[in-house]
Chains A and B, each alone.
Chain A
Amino acid sequence: MAENPSPPKLPGKSQPLRTIRATPNGIGISSDYINSIIDRIEDLVLVAQSQKPVAGNNITVNFTPQGAVINAVTQ
Chain B
Amino acid sequence: MIRPRLSKVASGTKLTTDLVNGIINRTEYAADLLRQYKLVAGNGMYVEPHYDGTRVSYLQPVAGGATPRGLIISGNGSSPTPPTIVPNNGSNPAYPATFDEFFAFYGDTDTSADNATGTPTGEIYINLDLHNSNFAIYIKRNNYVSPPGGVLFAGGSFFAVQFPDYGQAAGRSFNGSRWEIRILNPGDVIGIAHNLDEAVAIQDKFKSGQI
Interface, chain A (partner B; CB < 8 A):
4-8, 29-31, 34-35, 37-38, 41-42, 44-45, 47-49, 51-53, 56, 59, 63, 65-72
B contact residues around A45 at 8 Å (CB): 5, 26, 29-30, 33
B42 at the interface (CB under 8 A from A): yes
Scoring A6, A8, A68, A71 by chain B CB atoms within 10 A of each residue's CB, the highest score goes to A68
Report A8 CB to chain B, min CB distance, Å. 7
A contact residues around B40 at 8 Å (CB): 66-70
B contact residues around A70 at 8 Å (CB): 39-42, 45, 47, 56
The DSSP consensus for interface residues of chain B is mixed
Q: Whole-angstrom distance between the alpha carbons of A29 and B12 in the complex?
A: 10
B contact residues around A29 at 8 Å (CB): 15
Q: Whole-angstrom distance between the alpha carbons of A65 and B36 in the complex?
A: 6
Residue-wise, chain B 12-43 has the 8 Å CB interface mask toward A (1 for contact) of: 11010001000100110111011111111111
A42-B5, A68-B40, A70-B45 known; A4+B56 contact, CB < 8 A? no
* A48, B37: Cβ atoms closer than 8 Å: yes
Closest-by-CB residue of A relative to B54 is: A53
B144 at the interface (CB under 8 A from A): no
Q: Whole-angstrom distance between the alpha carbons of A29 and B5 in the complex?
A: 21
Q: Whole-angstrom distance between the alpha carbons of A65 and B9 in the complex?
A: 34
A contact residues around B15 at 8 Å (CB): 29, 34
* B52, A44: Cβ atoms closer than 8 Å: no
Closest-by-CB residue of A relative to B20 is: A34
A contact residues around B39 at 8 Å (CB): 53, 67-68, 70
User: Which of B13, B19, B26, B45 sits near A71, CB closer than 8 Å?
Assistant: B45
